């Protein structure tokens, strides 16, 4: 077994340790899981983005969709939308 040192600010270290405890793993175990996943899949198992706002990643919050939703809400308030009930489709 090898030893790996990681530098983190104190808050991140404490928050990470609390998370690990919550899921029943040690910090060491969770880093091992991460490293093994990276090696097995040959990629980082999450997306890395330069975007600051997580909402930017979600098309639901895009300006275009927000305008569309506002338009549909206005039409609904004016009684100009027809709603149809559908059966639930189960996979």
DSSP string, 11-40: HHHHHHHHHHHHTT--HHHHHHHHHHHHHH
Residue with more model confidence, 31 or 56: 31
Q: Write out pLDDT tens, residues 34-74.
A: 999 999 999 988 877 666 555 555 677 778 888 888 998 99
Share of the chain above pLDDT 70, in %: 88
Within 10 angstroms of residue 12's Cβ, the number of other Cβ atoms is 10
Tell me how far CA of residue 87 lies from CA of 9, 81, 90, in angstroms: 52, 19, 9
Please give the pLDDT value at position 17: 93
**Residue 29 pLDDT level (bands cut at 50, 70, 90):** very high
The structure tokens 């490293």 sit at 35
Please give the pLDDT value at position 58: 67
């Amino acid at each position: 077994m090898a030893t790996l040192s990681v530098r983190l600010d104190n808050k991140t270290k404490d928050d990470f340790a609390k998370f690990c405890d919550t899921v029943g793993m040690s910090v060491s175990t969770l880093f091992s899981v991460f490293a093994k996943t990276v090696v097995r899949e040959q990629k980082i198992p999450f997306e890395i983005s330069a975007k600051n706002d997580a909402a930017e990643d979600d098309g639901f919050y895009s300006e275009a969709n927000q305008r569309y939703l506002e338009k549909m809400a206005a039409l609904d308030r004016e009684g100009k939308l027809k709603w149809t009930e559908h059966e639930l489709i189960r996979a």
